Amino acid sequence: MSLTSNLFLCVSIGDIVYVEEILSVFDRDTLGWIGRIMYIVSGPRDPCSNSIFQVENVDTGVIKYVNADLVKLIVRKSSEQ
């Protein structure tokens, strides 16, 4: 497994991340946005692995739940703020 496939395991609350949502499977349309991790839901089989994130869009303020694999990049760690 590459680092990008395991990136969601390194995310913690307060991190600023780049999220890429798939809008249309057939056209491969995507929507990318920057958000702040508000809450982390761990996986049912392994409580140490992240499965779902509650993320606040930094531009609009909208809060939504996203699957952990939609996080493509950690822009800034919470420890760096």
pLDDT in single tens digits along all 81 residues of the chain: 344 567 777 889 999 999 998 887 777 788 899 999 999 988 777 777 778 999 999 999 999 999 988 999 999 998 866
Question: Under CATH, which number does the domain 7-80 receive?
Answer: 2.30.30.140
Token pair, residue 11, equals 């995310």
Give the pTM. Answer: 0.81
What ranges do the domains of the chain cover? 7-80
- Other beta carbons less than 10 A from residue 23's beta carbon: 9
